[in-house]
Chains A and B, each alone.
Chain A
């Protein structure tokens, strides 16, 4: 090796070192800090862990790179506590310099984080806090709360409408004939959630020409539903539809429905969120309808097996699955911003969100849970709900696992009416 070439190599090595040490001064790579929210500590830290694992997998998929930007995740711990959530976000923005945020879990935390994002004008995408309060705040003061750009989970009652469509489809398809005409009875826990969700179900059924024969609500911790169920039995509805968020309440309701001898189709929204519900409910859950996101596609199955082998636990579709997709969508937004404006700043990202995400121009179709993640001026901050877009499929349980029975294009099996 000649003396001259040695000098060149040494110079090249030095300049490389200078670039990697100097960071921003280099021309080859810049760092972009992406805040990723989640309940990493606190009572639902298990969900937080799923967020972190799934987001990591999404980032690895693009090699932590968008163009010449190196994407560094900053974990924003909402800790299931609004006060901690807002100060964690504040710290991430002011202290760690994130220029964009992604994901969150609780509605109450979302409400506390919204104004922080707005004050610093840092766009925050796809928080999963879902209740109507988030929408109200978004619509009330869009100049500030509009930086909470888009929700990762629609207002729950909007999701509940497919039950009516599904039943109608079963009737049309000949797999189901209502035993006692188009009659439905409504049940639910006596909470905002119970009333708004069952209200949406009720409206849908009514609009499809069904008669609501009874509506019954019970205390959230009630485990003795014999009175309600015996009353339903005497009223003979073809379908009983409702929800509860308390596992002991939900499992007692389903078991007792069987005990009482109801022959109605049972819709129990949210049963699948109860970890291992089959241990509590057993075969009484066979035939029950619910809506749950599932890992259905081959890509999703692939995700599950990778996740399991890497992290040694079972991912849930609603936490890890959606977090994976939404992180992917965030990265797509970054890519688009870079293509359009040439640099990743909060301002540019916000403009892409406002001009392309809200208008429905920019959508995401590479997810593993939904076909297409899409927003529209009518839907925001919620995603567009419907067939082919954000929709939880209707599933029917058998032996503790759910199989998609609706919508038809993704269904895994046919609906089976109770004997």
Chain B
């Protein structure tokens, strides 16, 4: 626990960060007072999901130095496997366990596919490429993304493969805001997954090894960590999380080849805001972006929802090139 406190105090030491956090809190309060509690509730639900997608992205970058522009396609894989599993279970739809089975299957599919992609692509690249790793992997992830989009199109077509809702019941009321059961489900899944990821990285042997690789790769080798396996695992976890997010949000993102574009865009916004490779920061920044989107949508207009957060990012990067929370996880490519 003292460790967590220590980390937090370190991150909040900078007056710029503290000022920004204060600004965000002020914005939240302003939004709630002037707009309504729904701004807060919606930001929490959306933020949790963005946090989930962005955490994987941050992890991949932090541990592997791979700027993953195919993360959105793993989200797409999640929506697709979610759809296929859910419709295959149509006989027992309505049973409360079905959505959980569905998203778990998507998690597994994303995880396995991520592992395969790493073994087939990045592990091979590691052996051959010494220089320009970030640029090369960037190009390769774009390629992977194109391949996955086209594979989807060829095999499953461009139709929208979606569902009405996982849970049928009437929406529940939180602080006077009605929230569909599916969104309650989504925020719960996101909370549990983020907590799980946090625990894994902070306290488990494997999580420590992943962090070790991200902080010092030769050091990790020196203590006996199979670095290659940790990278594969990292990419698999990150892909699994994106797929999990996709399946969980199937009710809002019906599967089609390009469904990953928007989540990818947001996830990158979040990760850049947080500081590349900073997993914890990405979670916080996910909520900040969601809050900004909601406030922009309410006070300025929804068409500006992407513009304002992006303008903010440009501003922050001008003041703090390493992002809001800096690069807490130092990435391998810096060495």
What is A's interface to B at a CB cutoff of 8 Å?
Answer: 43, 190, 216-219, 221-228, 230-231, 234, 247-248, 251-252, 255-256, 259-261, 274-276, 279-284
Contact = CB atoms under 8 A, between A and B. Distances in A.
Interface stretch (B123-131, B220-228, B249-257): B249-257
A316 to B, nearest CB: 15
Given A230-B36, A280-B254, A248 B42 contact: no
A129 B298 CA distance: 36
Interface string B133-154: 0000000000000000000000
Contacts of B261: 221
A224 B306 CA distance: 12
B160 A218 contact: no
Contacts of A280: 160, 162-164, 254
B42 A230 contact: yes
Contacts of B256: 248
A223 B162 contact: no
Contact of A217 (B35, B159, B254, B303): B303
| Chain B residues touching A, range | 35 or more
Given A222-B302, A224-B252, 12 more contacts: A217-B301, A218-B297, A219-B302, A221-B262, A227-B39, A227-B42, A234-B36, A247-B160, A255-B164, A259-B171, A259-B178, A280-B162
A229 to B, nearest CB: 9
B311 to A, nearest CB: 16
10 smallest CB-CB distances across A and B, nearest first, come from A282-B164, A227-B297, A218-B302, A190-B303, A230-B38, A259-B180, A280-B162, A226-B42, A217-B303, A247-B160
Contact of B179 (A221, A225, A259): A259
A13 to B, nearest CB: 54
11 contacts: A218-B303, A218-B305, A221-B261, A222-B302, A224-B46, A226-B38, A228-B302, A230-B42, A248-B259, A260-B178, A276-B159
Interface of B: 35-36, 38-39, 42, 46, 158-160, 162-165, 171, 177-180, 183, 251-254, 256, 259, 261-262, 293-294, 297-298, 301-303, 305-306
B297 to A, nearest CB: 4
A227 B164 contact: no
A226 to B, nearest CB: 5
Nearest to A190: B303
Contacts of A247: 160, 254
B254 A227 contact: no
A354 to B, nearest CB: 42
A231 B164 CA distance: 24
B165 A255 contact: yes
Contact of A223 (B253, B297, B298): B253
Contacts of B303: 190, 217-219
Nearest to B49: A224
B258 to A, nearest CB: 8
B302 A255 contact: no
B302 A217 contact: yes
B253 A279 contact: no
B306 A219 contact: yes
Contacts of B158: 43
B171 A251 contact: no
Counting chain B CB atoms within 10 Å of each CB, the highest count among A223, A226, A231, A247 belongs to A226
A281 B164 contact: yes
Nearest to B256: A248
Contacts of A231: 35, 298
A196 B56 CA distance: 41
B6 to A, nearest CB: 36
Nearest to A222: B302
Contacts of B164: 255, 279-284
Contacts of B179: 259
Contacts of A259: 171, 178-180, 183
Nearest to A284: B164
A225 B303 CA distance: 11
A101 B302 CA distance: 44
A222 B253 CA distance: 10
Contacts of B162: 248, 251, 279-280
B167 to A, nearest CB: 12
Given A217-B302, A222-B305, A248-B162, A255 B36 contact: no
Contacts of B297: 218, 227-228
B295 to A, nearest CB: 8
Contacts of B163: 279-280
Nearest to B265: A221
A282 to B, nearest CB: 3
